[in-house]
Amino acid sequence: MKYKKQILMALFAFVLFLPLSNMLGLTSHNDPIAFSEGTSLSFKAASNILQNKCVDCHSPGMTRLPFYAKFPIADQLMEKDIKTASARLEITKPMYSGESPFTPLMLARLEGVLRNDSMPPNLYLSMHWTGRLNYEEKTAILSWIGEEREKLAWSHDSAPNLKGEPIQPLPLHVSLDQNKVFLGQRLFFDRRLSGDQSMSCASCHDLSKGGTDQSRVATGIRGHQGPINSPSVFNASYNLAQFWDGRAKDLAEQAAGPVASPGEMGAEWSHVVETLKQDESYQKDFSALYPDQGLTQSTITQAIATYEESLVTGGSRFDEYLRGNKNILTPEERNGYHLFKMDCASCHFGPTLGGMSFEKLGTSQDYFAKRGSTLTEVDNGRFNVTHNEADRHVFKVPNLRNVEVTPPYFHDGSAATLEEAVRTMASVQLGKELSQSEVSDMVAFLKTLTGKYNGVSLQSLK
């Protein structure tokens, strides 16, 4: 066959050319990017490494295409790589120059791949022999990541040597208008917000149950079984958006939902506003605190949101560790944290160990095939909001504060225990099987995250 010979020749040339091009450095180079004024030495070092070793896939438009990228299969591969890579981490020119900062999310993802040695991908390394990050380069990028985190307001209370950690302590005090907090608190516990006056927000977000109902799925008025697990209201103010699929942009928008939802509180807002208006003390408080608007749906939800902003649970044992009390954690708990940083903190980072990003459930293995039961509408996750196929089964990463007291776990409440949730995460998100001692150390660490509300540990309320 005529063609076969040509294909063999092409392959032969390719195999011969590859080492040659590697040795001669035949791939083209971008001109070095000028740094903005005032960038640190450690930033320059990190940026140079990223420009050298990551730009080909993570910076669309800046790619230095090697000669073989013009070959039919190679160019498709490269294009696909650039698309998937930059969807996860896009490094732009102003970021390389130091003009615009890397977000906490990007720093967490970067730290994740450095700790796991997973970037650049192996296939790329087989063609770019000098592409691998060496120990010095990894250390340089990691120490710059630490310096970036030091600048965040979040790490204000961390001990000086722990300001670069992916997790920061929660504040012990939040300053808010206390009168609005008290008003919001009354509303949060007020059953007149439901259609048959049987339920308040607290019915499903019980503060003595970690701000949840500790049930697989929520039960609304007249015993209506909801489709999804109740997340905690504690520390919800840190979330980038509210609900598992992020469909509410903030707490006030969120609070409007359950009141009018037929399967939750089943009320009509106009009716709720009229009922509360008949209560003189509410009338008085709303006109004092919201003089321009008085008592309306909007001020009701604003007051509830302010109350929720006060539901911050600082003072956990882990926070004391981050503030510098080294010996407060047992060796198992410290080891659990070490494992968590390696495997979990690229998604569960920040003061609440989550709430900062949307991630697919099942990045390594199909969670839903493992679970077995039929798919429901809520399993679509963020797809229900964006209608973008890439968002199917994508959920807001839940925060892990007080996770000890908020079973069962996951949006479907399918994991009854923390052990089970940790094992499932390891397998579906990382494709890893953890040993029994790894699981128990991680669980021991997660239990150190139980904080206090009004000075009382949520554990003792349970």
Contact 171, 160 (CB under 8 A): no
Report the residue from 18, 46, 85, 356 that binds ligand HEC according to the rule CB under 6 A.
85
Token reading at 302: 């604003």
**Which candidate, 257, 254, 269, 248, places its Cα nearest to that of 193?**
269
- Give least dist CB 400 to ligand HEC, A: 6
Which residue in this structure is represented by tokens 């980038």?
A: 240
Residue 269 sits in the site that holds ligand HEC (CB under 6 A): no
Interface stretch with ligand HEC, choices 34-42, 106-114, 148-156, 279-287 (CB under 6 A):
106-114
Residue 348 sits in the site that holds ligand HEC (CB under 6 A): yes
Interface stretch with ligand HEC, choices 25-33, 163-171, 243-251, 453-461 (CB under 6 A):
243-251
Measure the CA–CA gap between 246 and 363, rounded to whole angstroms: 19
Buried b (16+ CB within 10 A) or exposed e, 400-437: bbbbbbbbbbbbbbbbeebebbbbbbbbbbbeeebeee
Close Cβ partners of 182 (under 8 Å, ≥ 6 residues apart): 307
Residue 346 sits in the site that holds ligand HEC (CB under 6 A): yes
Residue 110 sits in the site that holds ligand HEC (CB under 6 A): yes
Residue 453 sits in the site that holds ligand HEC (CB under 6 A): no
Interface stretch with ligand HEC, choices 23-31, 33-41, 77-85, 167-175 (CB under 6 A):
77-85
Measure the CA–CA gap between 353 and 157, rounded to whole angstroms: 16
Looking at the Cβ atoms of 155 and 424, the one nearer to ligand HEC is 424
Task: Classify the C-alpha dihedral 444-449-454-458 as positive or negative.
Answer: negative
**Which candidate, 297, 292, 255, 289, places its Cα nearest to that of 182?**
289
Size of the site for ligand HEC (CB under 6 A): 70
Task: Classify the C-alpha dihedral 418-424-425-427 as positive or negative.
Answer: positive
Report the residue from 230, 313, 335, 352 that binds ligand HEC according to the rule CB under 6 A.
230
Residue 74, phi-psi category: left (phi > 0), alpha (psi -120 to 50), beta (remainder): alpha
- Give least dist CB 294 to ligand HEC, A: 19
Residue 140 sits in the site that holds ligand HEC (CB under 6 A): no
Looking at the Cβ atoms of 157 and 290, the one nearer to ligand HEC is 290
Written as one letter, the residue type at 193 is L
Q: Measured in Å, how far apart are the chain's first and last C-alpha atoms?
A: 76
Report the residue from 33, 260, 361, 444 that binds ligand HEC according to the rule CB under 6 A.
361
Looking at the Cβ atoms of 168 and 414, the one nearer to ligand HEC is 414
What is the x/- site pattern for ligand HEC, positions 296-315, by CB under 6 A? --------x---x-------
**Which candidate, 317, 305, 323, 311, places its Cα nearest to that of 404?**
317
Looking at the Cβ atoms of 119 and 170, the one nearer to ligand HEC is 119
Contact 391, 383 (CB under 8 A): yes
The CB density around residue 106, as the number of other CB atoms within 10 Å, is 17
Looking at the Cβ atoms of 85 and 183, the one nearer to ligand HEC is 85
- Give least dist CB 289 to ligand HEC, A: 18
Which residue in this structure is represented by tokens 């949006």?
A: 411
**Which candidate, 144, 137, 160, places its Cα nearest to that of 106?**
144
Report the residue from 18, 27, 33, 56 that binds ligand HEC according to the rule CB under 6 A.
56
Measure the CA–CA gap between 395 and 391, rounded to whole angstroms: 8
Written as one letter, the residue type at 377 is E
Residue 185 sits in the site that holds ligand HEC (CB under 6 A): no
Measure the CA–CA gap between 328 and 162, rounded to whole angstroms: 15
Report the residue from 363, 365, 457, 459 that binds ligand HEC according to the rule CB under 6 A.
363
Looking at the Cβ atoms of 140 and 233, the one nearer to ligand HEC is 233
- Give least dist CB 19 to ligand HEC, A: 18
| Contact positions with ligand HEC (CB under 6 A) in 388-447 | 395, 397-398, 400, 403, 406, 409-411, 421-422, 425-426, 429, 442
Looking at the Cβ atoms of 168 and 402, the one nearer to ligand HEC is 402
Q: Which residues bind ligand HEC (CB under 6 A)?
A: 53-54, 56-58, 81, 84-85, 88-89, 109-110, 112-113, 119-121, 124, 133, 193, 199, 201, 203-205, 218, 220, 226, 228, 230-231, 233, 236, 239, 242-244, 251, 254-255, 258-259, 264-265, 304, 308, 340, 343-344, 346-348, 359, 361, 363, 395, 397-398, 400, 403, 406, 409-411, 421-422, 425-426, 429, 442
